[in-house]
Structure 1
Amino acid sequence: MKNECNDCICVLRSFVQMKDCQLELLDGSHTVVKFKRGDTIIRQGVFSTNVIFLRKGMAKIHITGPSREQIVKLVKAPTYLGLPTTFGDKINQYSVTAVTESEVCFVDIGAFKKLLTENNDFSAYILMELSKSELEAYRRCANRTQKQLRGNLADVLLEFSENLFGADQFTLPLSQSDIGNWVDAGRESINRALAEFIQDGIIQMQGREVKITDKKMLKMISQNG
């Protein structure tokens, strides 16, 4: 019987050579689950027993704070979900919700830790992923607090275009309320800023369909904040 993990993007993405016994360990210690848009993949405050890998789809990471919920990040497959909370605490420190139909691999944390111990190259890869995630969090925090709304909204649109969809025309994966939550602004403010971008010829919109028509100007707004 073919080992499902042998050709899985979870393994291939790491560019790490694994022994047959390590692949067998993964194959016997994982479960693949499909989620619909809006389904909860990880719930904050719940005991964590798995390492979670997003194989297909897109998801938002969000934290419930003292007064409200805060969207922290939007991610697309292939990527790990919840590594900091899985290894940093036994309790999930944030939630993850599917924003498109998604496919997720749940790997037993004991098996995953055993793999990290046995495969130094894979351990180095995971460390690199955690480091990149932390650096990105620092950058996002600085941008969100120091830029004005137009600069933050430009960042969001560029994030969608360049990192999540790889195209200048896409469907907004988040509602205007969620985008506002992401950049600490109200839905009405996001609506007005989008209208300004349309009026300035920077984007075109039809419902949730967006087309960036002046990317140079959008990047300038992003840079100037």
Structure 2
Amino acid sequence: MRSSVNMKDCQLEMLGGNHTVVKFKKGDSIIKQGVFSTNVIFLRKGMAKVHISGPSREQIVKLVKAPTYLGLPTTFGDKINQYSVTSVIDSEVCFIDLEVFKRLLGENRDFGSYILMELCKSELEAYRRCASRTQKQMRGNLADVLLEFSEKLFEADQFTLPLSQSDIGNWVDAGRESINRVLSEFIQDGIIQMQGRQVRIVDKKMLKMISQNG
């Protein structure tokens, strides 16, 4: 695990002997909202969507890729999962004993600092995303999504969309028809190329300009 850097041998041994590795297929539920949380969950391989049930529908909050921890605010909060996590590609997850994890946080200052930094980064990203999604037009929001896929999740200008157009619409609070229309506009403008779910960003400079202008 990336976060095991700077751990003592005995701490690595403690962590290694107190976790279970589980493989999940695309579409499998990793965390279920409303269920009691008993483990710290580490996404070791793959990618997943974080989503929450609201008053009227399910809302996708974000996509995360390995390696990363899942559900830490719940684990150290009220112990009841406040959102769900579902794999969007085949993934591998470590379920770590909560008490062992807490002990490691107390014994290893570097490890504790790493976890705190990850939580802070996640919160700041949530603020930024909320402001962007509510203030940008559809083209700006979809440009943000494509750039996130390219620069953060896949680190490539050619990738396979991990979400359906309906899910992307849910993520940015738009209908599937709107997503389809804007994608078609991007294709016509020579910004992207698409074949099925395969996407290739042709003009990233223009895509970034659309993102910045909202």
Secondary structure (helix, strand or coil) at the match of 1:38 reads coil
Q: Quick check: 84-93 or 148-157, which moved more?
A: 84-93
Find the counterpart in structure 2 of residue 45 from structure 1. Answer: 34
Find the counterpart in structure 1 of residue 167 from structure 2. Answer: 178
Find the counterpart in structure 2 of residue 72 from structure 1. Answer: 61
2:44 to 55, 79, 87: 55
How far is the alpha carbon of 1:146 from its aligned partner? 0.4
Question: Partner letter of residue 40 of structure 2?
Answer: V
Secondary structure (helix, strand or coil) at the match of 2:119 reads helix
Matching of residues 109-124 of structure 1 within 5 Å:
109-124=98-113
Matching of residues 91-106 of structure 1 within 5 Å:
91-106=80-95
2:70 to 60, 78, 81: 81
Q: Distance in 1 between matches of 2:180 and 2:74?
A: 34
Find the counterpart in structure 1 of residue 146 from structure 2. Answer: 157
Q: Deviations over 1:14-53 (max 9, x none)?
A: 3632122211211221000000000000000000011111
Q: Distance in 2 between matches of 1:19 and 1:168?
A: 39
1:145 to 134, 137, 140: 134
Q: Deviations over 1:41-89 (max 9, x none)?
A: 0000000011111110000000001110000000111111111121122
Secondary structure (helix, strand or coil) at the match of 1:180 reads helix
Is 2:21 aligned against 1:17?
Answer: no
Q: State percent identity of aligned pairs.
A: 85
Kindly indicate whether the alpha-carbon contact (under 8 Å) linking 2:4 and 2:12 is maintained by their aligned counterparts in 1: no
TM-score, length basis structure 1: 0.93
Secondary structure (helix, strand or coil) at the match of 1:170 reads strand
Secondary structure (helix, strand or coil) at the match of 1:92 reads coil
Paired residues, number: 214
**Ranges of 4+ aligned residues in structure 1 off by more than 4 Å:** none
Q: Distance in 2 between matches of 1:196 and 1:211?
A: 14
Is 2:166 aligned against 1:191?
Answer: no
Is 2:201 aligned against 1:223?
Answer: no
Secondary structure (helix, strand or coil) at the match of 2:118 reads helix
Q: Distance in 2 between matches of 1:220 and 1:107?
A: 43
What runs of 5+ residues in structure 1 fail to find an aligned partner? 1-9
Matching of residues 209-220 of structure 1 within 5 Å:
209-220=198-209
1:208 to 197, 200, 211: 197
Question: Partner letter of residue 194 of structure 1?
Answer: L
Is 2:16 aligned against 1:27?
Answer: yes
Q: Quick check: 137-146 or 80-89, which moved more?
A: 80-89
What runs of 5+ residues in structure 2 fail to find an aligned partner? none
RMSD value, Cα: 0.9
Q: Distance in 2 between matches of 1:224 and 1:71?
A: 24
